Structure formats: C-alpha cells, structure tokens
Structure 1
Amino acid sequence: MDQDYEQFIKNIKSKTGIDLSLYKEAQMKRRLTSLYEKRGFSNFTEFYSGLNKQRELYYEFLDRMTINVSEFYRNYKRWEVLEEKILPSLLERNSNLKVWSAACSTGEEPYTIAMILSKLMPMSKVKVLATDIDDNVIARAKLGLYPERSLNEVPDDMKKKYLKKEGTNYKVSDEIMKTVTFKKQNLLSDPFDSQFDLIVCRNVLIYFTEEAKEVLYSKFSGALKRQGVFFVGSTEQIFNAERFDLSSVDTFFYQKR
C-alpha cells in the first residue's frame, strides 16, 4: 500500500471512525481516485485537506465510499417471500417484532420493511431500527425524499398509500417515517443490540473481506433471537451457515437454530 493512501486511511479513521482498510483496497482506491481527480486534486494528501475545507466534498466522499445503490423493494420477489412466508411465521410466535435494517443507506430498505409490516400488523406496533455508518446518508434517509427511479418496484397500492409526489421527487408519508428510528453504527467495531426477530442486511457484505464477513456473520447470529431470521442480498449466500448457528429457510433467508 503506498504511503499517501496509508496516511489517508489513518486520517479518515481519526476523523470519522471509518476504517477504510477493511474494504477491498483496489476497489476503494479506484473509486476514491476517480473522485479526487474529477474534483481537481492530484493525490490523497491534497484530497484529505480538501475534505476538511469543503463540506460538500466531504459529503460526496462519504457518499462515494458507502456505495449507495438503493431502491424500494429491491429484488421484489424476495420481499414477497418476506411478506408471505417469513413474517407470518415470525408473527405467530410474537406479535411485537423487533426488526433491524443494518447498513440501511438512504432509507429505502427500512421504509420498505415498514410498509410491508403495516399490511400485517397495526401501524402503532410497527417499529424498525435502521443503522448506517454514514451521517450523510442517515440525514438523507430522515428527509424521506426520493427520485422516481428509486420507486420502480413499489407496488401500486403501497405507492398510492405511502408515497406522495413532490415536484420531481416522492415523499414518504409521516406515518411510515415515524416507525423508523435511525442511528449511526459501524458494523465491524460497534456492539450489536440483541433479541431481534428479523435482521435485514442486503448488498453490503459483498464489499467486505472474507475475514470481516466471518466476524459479521457471528455478530448477526448473536444478535438474533432463537428462530429469528437474517435476510441477506441476492449475491450474498452464506456458505456453511450452520457454523454460525444458522440454517437456510428460503433463498437468502437464514434462521437462527
């Protein structure tokens, strides 16, 4: 690793608590280099100094680093399985579900979970914890404003009920927004809460090294209730799930044994 990037990693860690060395180096470096070149810097040292002076650039950096490709009901068929199979069986055991959307990005995922839960239980009982490492995406999630392209897979009835057109964007209804609590969290270094019925963490783990994934699977498993369910993204099958006390209950759904 070159010294310029190594120093940048140290500086970012002390500024934000984010440890860039846990991400795949070539991928992350390429992504950040293209950003700083586009913004007129010629190395990581200059770039870091720019980040401290320009708030907009700092937000853009956080955005680029956290790979925000998010939309409501992403991979729709999986959400159908959640609604028709997974949640009804969880609700049979417990009418107050404890639900966590981990690495929630700009909020589309936790709001999707809340919309689905609203069909299965009274709105007053719907509660979703949503966490992410990036203050900027959390701030954006709390605004609840989304471009039309984020809504491609939203069923019409949900769109009518919970999303209102505002200019070229759509705004999530207050009743859905009230059910979600956003918090900042670093998955690798911060402790997890426990006794969750459902944990959703999709399309995030692919960016971690194999060692980091092992740590996270153990932590997620430890945070689940017995028979709680862990829902992962469509490129993230867990091989040897039983090592983490999990067994597959459907494609991309794992149950704590």
Structure 2
Amino acid sequence: MMGENREVEIDEGLESLLGFLRDARGFDFTGYKRSSLGRRIRKRMADVSADTYDDYRDLLETSSDEFGALFNTILINVTSFFRDPEAWTFLQHEVLPELLSQVAPDREIRVWSAGCSSGEEAYSLAMMFAETLGLEETLQRVKIYATDVDEEALRDARTGLYAAKALEPLPNDLRERYFDQNGTQYSFRPDLRRRVIFGRHDITRDAPISRLDLLVCRNTLMYFNVEAQTQIVDRFHFALRESGHLFLGKAEMLLNDSDRFEVMSMRQRVFRRRPGDSGLPYSPAPVKLRPSSGGEVHSIARNRQLRDLILDASPAPSLAVDIDGTVVMINNNARTQFALTANDIGRPFQDLEISYRPVELRSLIEQSTHERRTLRVNGAERRVGEETQYFDILIQPLLAANGMPAATHITFTDVTVATQLKSEVKRVREDLETAYEELQSTNEELETTNEELQSSIEELETTNEELQSTNEELETTNEELQAGNEELETMNEEMRVRSEELDQTRAFLEGVLTSIAAGVVVLDNDTRVKSWNRGAAELWGLRPDEVTDEPFFSLDFGLPAEKVRTMVHDCLADGRRTGPVALPAVNRIGRSIRCTVSCSPFDGYNGGVVLLMEEVRDEAAS
C-alpha cells in the first residue's frame, strides 16, 4: 500500500513540474509519453542531486541555466544526413517522380521537415530535390520549411556548418557539390541554403504549415502519447494537399488511419493523403466593395500619400511584405540602416539579405501569418564590419477587412546602447560579486587562522568541491537511443556477459580435463564422443578432433570397447555409477596393459556418461 501511495506522489509531482515548465518557459510536454519523459527528468535530477520534484523545481526557479540543461536532456536530437539510406532512396526514386508529375511546372513545391533538429534532414531534402530537379529549378520552385521546438538545435541548423565527421555518410560527389570547406568545418552552399526556412514550431500546439506536397516527420511521433499523436496526425492531414506524401520514421506508422492515408510503402513508412475534405478551420468571408465618388477617390489618394510619407519618416526602420512574399514598403530609416533602396520594393523578400540576417525572418513571417499574432525577437545581433548592433524586431500580421492575412509589417528597434549598457552593468555586477566573494573569502581565512584543524577540514572540503566541479565538467550526457532499441541493447549486454561467463567456465573445465592424467571421455545419450581429454589422447593415440561426435563403439583403438558397452548402457538406463572394471588393452605404442574403466552418469546438457580410463601399473615395477 505504501508503494502505491509513493507512485501517486511521484506522478503528481511530475505533473506539477510539467505545468511549471509550460507556464514558466512555454514548453508544453504534457503530450509526451510519461515513461520516457519521467526517466529523462529523473536522470537530470540525479545529476544535480535533487531528491524530489519539488526540490528540482526550486532549483529551476533559482537557476535559469538549468532550464537549458533540462531541455537538452528531454529533447534528444538524433539525426544525420540521409539517415536510413534505403528509405531515402525509395523517396527519391519512387515518391519524387509521382510528386512532380502531380505539380504544375510553374507551381511552387512546398516541403515541411517537422522536428528537423540540427538541420541535417532539411539539407538532405534540399540536396535530393537538387539532384532530381536540377539546381536551377530547385532554387526557383522548391521551398523547405524546417521546424523544431529546440531553439539551440535551430541555431546550429541556421548556420549550415558541420564537422567533417557529420559528412561521412555523404558520397564524395554530393559533399563536393553542396559543401564548402570553412576552416575545420564545412558550410552548406548559400544559394540552396536560402530555400530552407528554419523556425521554432511546436507540432502539438502551433498551427501547421499548409498546402504541402511533402511532409517529413521522422522518429518524432514516438515520443508522444496516443492522444497527442492523434492531434498531430490531424494537423498533418490538414497541412497536406490531396495526394501529398507523409514520410515517417522507422519507429512510427499509421495503422488506424486508412480512411485518410493510404500506404505507399509500409517498410519505408511512406503514406499518401487520400482525396477528401481537409477540414479547414475557417472559411474566408467575401469582400464587399462599395462605389466611391470622385471626391472620395481624391481624399483616399491624399490620405494614402500622407500615410506613405508618415511611414517613410518613421524613426524606426520598418518594411512590409505581402502575403506572396513580395516587399511592398521600405521606409527611409530601413533603407539607410540596412543598405536597401527603393528598387528593392517589388522584389521577393527572400532575395534580400535582411530576410535571414540578423535573424531568419521568413519562418517568423510564416508563423505570424498562420497564428495571426504579433511575434517579437529581442536582442538580435547584427555585425557591420567591426561594429555590433542589436535590434528588437516586431513581426506583425496585417489583416484585410475580411479578416484574412494581407501582409506582414516588420519593425526594427535599435537597442544597441541599451544592450551594451546591460552588458556593462552585468560585468560591473559580476566584478562586484567577485570582489565581495574575495573579501568574504579573506575574512573567512582570517577568522580560521588560529584553528588549524578547522582550516585543514576546510581545505579538504574546498579540494573536494573542485574535484567534484571538474568531474561534472568532464561528464557528458549520453544521447538516449531510440526507444525501440533500448531493450535490445540491454538483452545484448546480458547475452555478452553470459557468453563471457560460459567462455570462462568452458576454459576452466577444459583446464581441469587437460590436467587429469587419466583418460576422461564424455559420451552423449547416443554414445557419441563429446569430450576427449589429453589423458585419453596419450593413452590411446587418438586426437580429440579425430573422435569428436564419432560413435564411441565404432572407434578403433586399444580398448575392447564392446566389453564396456553393457556398463555404459546400464549407467544411461538407471543413472548409477558402474565399475571400475579391469580390462586387458593395448596402449598407443602397442604395449599390452591392464586398464580400469569406470562409468558415471553425466548431469550436464542433455545427459550422457563419463568414462574414466586409467592404466593399472605394477607396484613392483614402479
């Protein structure tokens, strides 16, 4: 009964902690599987010596850095270029030809990599389309949205930089065509990089990207419970066009959704969206126009001109992008600040450097438009030569009269001075804290000067803390393997240990048999030889490899084997020891001897008997 109460307390503590994470940092893990989630959180708690969930929550409230460590433990990022090559080969040779045949030559191809981690999957998709369509057509038609809930992984993905080890799965020709060496790392080619839009997105909460031709979500669904998986699949169904393709991981499949998805390859986890209603969450209202008089037209034109002048004179740099991704407004300060010109109005926003530097704005525009809410990016860093600037960026969707998104307004607020001042204040504060700590340390040393024993204890404690700190720095968190492989690894380890134990036992028994001077022969239930020790080989002149698995009574050696048949069969029948029996025999050098033979039951695997054969020596001769 006490065990059941303890389990309830643990569950309640976990749910309370998950609610705190959702309210404090906006990470909603309530849809994740409790077994995996609880195991990872408890692992992190053990690393920081937190005994209960309440203790760990206290640590999170006092240490902002601990949030990052916890999220890195929960959000396991296991990925690589063209992971599971067989599945990618099927995607390129079977899925892409069908997809391209269904898309008009002038229509954009939209792809979503959900749960992209550090970007390898999104860049693999870009390379695959470039190899199939050709680079030029890919740059014009293909748009890849890559999203993840882990901001740290997204920062790595946006750089497009990878170590040489990460590129080992790639063939040499792909590596040379799509990567340039940059010091010790390799960078993805910039023109194709601009076709990949990275952004933070929670597939359990945020609105899905729509009108997709291909949706890739590999080994992500397995971390969620059944209810959350159902909601995610509903969003995926809404996001895909009719006959759009869904590409899942090896650990996932859609077995109970045949009404909406048909199987293209269950082995490779590729599904095709069936035709049918996409379940739109809203329907656009018709726009009503009313006639205007000439005076009203003149007034509207004048007001529009004044509005444009006011926007152009706005002290904050700003620009606007319409729903098709075309730049429709750039004010004077934006042109000055970001080296833009009036000629950039009317160009695709993705062609401008400001679209991805200092921050990836295209994905934020998509998110703001879909969610119909204003987004803010604080302290985005921009380097201009030796100078560093910081901006707060506001991405605001503009809605038409019918409530539908019409454009997006982006405003940049220069917070360089404030950021530098904060940094200086932080540095001064750290210096003061360091000085205070040094003063406090000096005071403690003065207070303990005359207490030799206490001083020794404090020195040992300090040394222990330093060793513990060094040990914590050296420890790294091993990435948790996919849930489906955990039990297999445990079983493999147990089998390896048992194999080692068996090898040791076998070596021990072989050593024992080898060290016995008398002849020891083990027969199975069919009287075939299973063991023939060194004593038997020296006595009769037959090697173990010559007699193993051979019928004992058909062997040709100096012992009259037929005379021991009865005692062997009696021992097999009743399981009792028989003998010893003295028999005349001829040893390996042809000399006549007398040999005693004993037969004992063998209790090992599948039964059998053990024959002990020993030459009887004359005491006087010896």
Picking from 192, 196, 202, the partner of 2:212 is 196
**1:103 paired to 2:115:** yes
Q: Which residue of 2 aligns with 1:172?
A: 188
Q: Distance in 2 between matches of 1:57 and 1:179?
A: 35
Give the conservation status (yes or no) of the 8 Å contact 1:129–1:180. yes
Give the conservation status (yes or no) of the 8 Å contact 1:129–1:181. yes
Deviation at 1:124, TM superposition (A): 3.2
Q: Which residue of 2 aligns with 1:133?
A: 149
Picking from 241, 248, 252, the partner of 2:257 is 241
Q: Which residue of 2 aligns with 1:205?
A: 221
Q: Distance in 1 between matches of 2:144 and 2:92?
A: 15
**1:90 paired to 2:99:** yes
Deviation at 1:105, TM superposition (A): 1.3
TM-score scaled by length of structure 2: 0.39
Structure 1 window deviating more from structure 2 (140-149 vs 219-228): it is 140-149
Q: Distance in 1 between matches of 2:197 and 2:63?
A: 29
Structure 1 window deviating more from structure 2 (44-53 vs 170-179): it is 44-53
Per the alignment, do residues 165 and 50 of structure 1 end up closer, same or farther by CA in structure 2, a change over 3 Å counting?
farther
Deviation at 1:58, TM superposition (A): 2.5
Deviations 1:155-190 (A, max 9, x none): 222112223344554332322321111121111112
Picking from 209, 216, 234, the partner of 1:218 is 234
**1:28 paired to 2:37:** yes
- Whichever residue aligns with residue 176 of structure 1, its letter is L
Give the conservation status (yes or no) of the 8 Å contact 2:31–2:225. yes
Larger Rg: 2
Deviations 1:189-223 (A, max 9, x none): 12213211000000001111122212222221121
- Whichever residue aligns with residue 253 of structure 1, its letter is V
Q: Which residue of 1 aligns with 2:20?
A: 11
SS of match in other structure, 2:93: helix
Deviations 1:195-254 (A, max 9, x none): 1100000000111112221222222112110111000001212103313x1101123111
Alignment: residue pair count: 256
Give the conservation status (yes or no) of the 8 Å contact 1:52–1:58. no
Give the conservation status (yes or no) of the 8 Å contact 1:62–1:136. no
Q: Distance in 2 between matches of 1:40 and 1:109?
A: 36
Per the alignment, do residues 25 and 145 of structure 1 end up closer, same or farther by CA in structure 2, a change over 3 Å counting?
same
Q: Percent of pairs identical after alignment?
A: 28
Q: Distance in 2 between matches of 1:147 and 1:61?
A: 25
Q: Which residue of 1 aligns with 2:83?
A: 74
List gaps (5 residues or longer) in structure 2. Answer: 1-7, 275-622
SS of match in other structure, 1:241: coil
SS of match in other structure, 2:258: helix
Q: Distance in 1 between matches of 2:205 and 2:118?
A: 21
Larger relative contact order (C-alpha < 8 A, sep ≥ 6)?
A: 1
- Whichever residue aligns with residue 106 of structure 1, its letter is S
Deviation at 1:57, TM superposition (A): 3.3
Q: Distance in 1 between matches of 2:228 and 2:89?
A: 30
**1:163 paired to 2:174:** no
Give the conservation status (yes or no) of the 8 Å contact 1:71–1:108. yes
Per the alignment, do residues 197 and 57 of structure 1 end up closer, same or farther by CA in structure 2, a change over 3 Å counting?
same
**1:255 paired to 2:272:** yes
Per the alignment, do residues 184 and 37 of structure 1 end up closer, same or farther by CA in structure 2, a change over 3 Å counting?
same
Q: Distance in 1 between matches of 2:58 and 2:147?
A: 28
Deviation at 1:97, TM superposition (A): 0.8
Picking from 28, 38, 45, the partner of 2:47 is 38
Deviation at 1:21, TM superposition (A): 2.2
SS of match in other structure, 1:161: helix
Picking from 176, 179, 182, the partner of 2:198 is 182
Give the conservation status (yes or no) of the 8 Å contact 1:145–1:170. yes
Give the conservation status (yes or no) of the 8 Å contact 2:112–2:209. no
Q: Distance in 2 between matches of 1:180 and 1:52?
A: 36
Cα RMSD (Å): 2.1
Deviation at 1:28, TM superposition (A): 1.1
TM-score scaled by length of structure 1: 0.90
Q: Which residue of 1 aligns with 2:244?
A: 228
Give the conservation status (yes or no) of the 8 Å contact 2:148–2:201. yes
Deviation at 1:53, TM superposition (A): 5.1
List gaps (5 residues or longer) in structure 1. Answer: none
Deviation at 1:148, TM superposition (A): 4.0
Q: Distance in 2 between matches of 1:42 and 1:145?
A: 40
Give the conservation status (yes or no) of the 8 Å contact 1:98–1:128. yes
Per the alignment, do residues 64 and 222 of structure 1 end up closer, same or farther by CA in structure 2, a change over 3 Å counting?
same
Give the conservation status (yes or no) of the 8 Å contact 1:241–1:248. no
Picking from 117, 136, 144, the partner of 2:129 is 117
Give the conservation status (yes or no) of the 8 Å contact 2:31–2:227. no
Q: Distance in 1 between matches of 2:162 and 2:61?
A: 28
